[in-house]
């Protein structure tokens, strides 16, 4: 396959290396020309994926036209808030017949669209898929056994992309529930901020386990309300990604929450980060979606209040624990 990976962050770089190992013809696109030259010279992403060599077979460029003109598949590994502007630039180039694979875990704030919906909104009737699951770039780059899911409404396309990424350390499953897979990958970042906050407060394992369980229920409620399949949230892009993001030292979203729990201001936390923590922006989108679909999401609501209204993490934990008693069956629905 001829594949372009747009976005030379840690995840884009790890996937480019993986795809190259599968004997695909790979181009890696980096926004900044100066850093593209660094990547070409060092053949290592020293900022975002240190220690992983980039094969010489991977062509690195900052020229978008060069990156796209000969590829059949376009992997979008960029922050969700710049997706639309990127797609508008692609649209100007007028390339037809490309297949777009989103590995983005965010929701557009203005429209509340998931990445594949933004792709179709800008480019029209193009073929799309999403790849998601518990998959930190740092571990994929080191060939740590990892399992993800590829979703497309076109079953044959999902299976084609599944095969394209499948290696002896990167196992891919396929399904057709694009909405559920995308929402699982997005909402879990909000729950991860809450999990990190508990770490910052030094609560305990009991509290973290409860948060993950109740967070999964919130993910499922909103996901099903928006058209996702219930069992998707018990799969890799749901509970799988939720567990790894809530408990991993690699998780940027968990780290944001941990610093909140330690008393730092969100503005100071974000100013000290070079990579994007999608959960911060996603929290606002999920807050709006919960209101739109009339879905009860108390954990996500508390994260929203902490990030956007300055609520104390101590008060958030207290208010969650003081909510009226319910049947567990009722809360799981």
**How would CATH label the architecture of 180-332?**
Orthogonal Bundle (1.10)
Does the fold of domain 180-332 match that of domain 2-176? Answer: no
- For 293, the token pair is 């679909």
pLDDT at 326: 87
The domain ranges of the chain are: 2-176, 180-332
- CA-to-CA distance for 2 and 189, rounded, in angstroms? 31
Distance, C-alpha 245 to centroid of its chain: 10
210-213: list long-range contacts, CB under 8 Å, 24+ apart. Answer: 211/246, 211/299, 212/242, 212/243, 212/246
pLDDT at 263: 95
**How would CATH label the architecture of 2-176?**
3-Layer(aba) Sandwich (3.40)
pLDDT at 212: 97
pLDDT at 133: 98
Residues ≥6 apart with Cβ < 8 Å to 168:
none
pLDDT at 274: 75
pLDDT at 331: 60
pLDDT at 182: 98
- CA-to-CA distance for 231 and 177, rounded, in angstroms? 10
β 127-132/146-151 pair status: antiparallel
Q: What does the mean pLDDT of the chain come to?
A: 95
pLDDT at 327: 87
Cα-based distances in Å from 248 to 91, 104, 134: 37, 19, 10
> Is residue 188 annotated as part of the catalytic site, yes or no?
yes
Phi-psi sector, 202: left (phi>0), alpha (psi -120 to 50), beta: left
Extract the residue ranges of the chain whose pLDDT is less than 50.
none
Question: Residues 105, 117, 188, 220: which is the catalytic one?
Answer: 188
Contact 282, 106 (CB under 8 A): yes
For 91-155, the DSSP string reads: HHHT--S-EEEE------TTT---HHHHHHHHH-S-EEEEEESS--HHHHHTT--EEEEEE-SSH
């Amino acid at each position: 396959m001829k594949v372009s990976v747009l976005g030379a962050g840690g995840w884009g770089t790890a996937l480019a290396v993986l795809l190259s190992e599968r004997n695909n013809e790979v181009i890696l696109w980096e926004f900044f020309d100066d850093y593209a030259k660094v990547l070409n010279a060092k053949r290592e992403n020293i900022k975002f994926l240190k220690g992983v060599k980039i094969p010489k077979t991977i062509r690195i460029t900052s020229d978008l036209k060069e990156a796209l003109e000969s590829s059949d598949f376009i992997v979008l590994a960029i922050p969700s808030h710049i997706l639309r502007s990127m797609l508008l630039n692609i649209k100007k180039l007028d390339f037809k017949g490309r297949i777009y694979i989103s590995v983005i875990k965010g929701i557009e704030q203005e429209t509340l669209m998931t990445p594949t919906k933004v792709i179709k909104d800008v480019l029209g009737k193009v073929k799309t898929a999403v790849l998601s699951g518990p998959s930190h770039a740092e571990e994929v780059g080191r060939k740590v056994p990892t399992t993800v899911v590829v979703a497309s409404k076109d079953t044959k396309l999902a299976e084609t992309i599944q095969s394209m990424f499948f290696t002896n350390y990167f196992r891919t499953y396929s399904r057709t529930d694009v909405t559920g897979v995308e929402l699982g990958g997005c909402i879990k970042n909000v729950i991860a901020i809450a999990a990190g906050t508990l770490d910052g407060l030094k609560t305990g394992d009991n509290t973290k386990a409860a948060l993950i369980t109740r967070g999964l229920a919130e993910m499922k409620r909103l996901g099903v309300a928006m058209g996702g399949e219930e069992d998707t949230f018990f799969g890799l892009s749901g509970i799988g990604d939720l567990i790894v993001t809530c408990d991993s030292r690699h998780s940027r979203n968990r780290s944001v929450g941990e610093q909140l729990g330690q008393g730092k201001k969100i503005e100071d936390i974000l100013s000290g980060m070079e990579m994007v923590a999608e959960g911060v922006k996603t929290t606002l989108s999920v807050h709006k979606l919960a209101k739109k679909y009339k879905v009860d999401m108390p954990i996500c609501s508390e994260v929203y209040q902490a990030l956007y209204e300055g609520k104390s993490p101590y008060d958030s934990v207290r208010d969650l624990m003081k909510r009226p008693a319910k049947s567990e069956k009722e809360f799981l629905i």
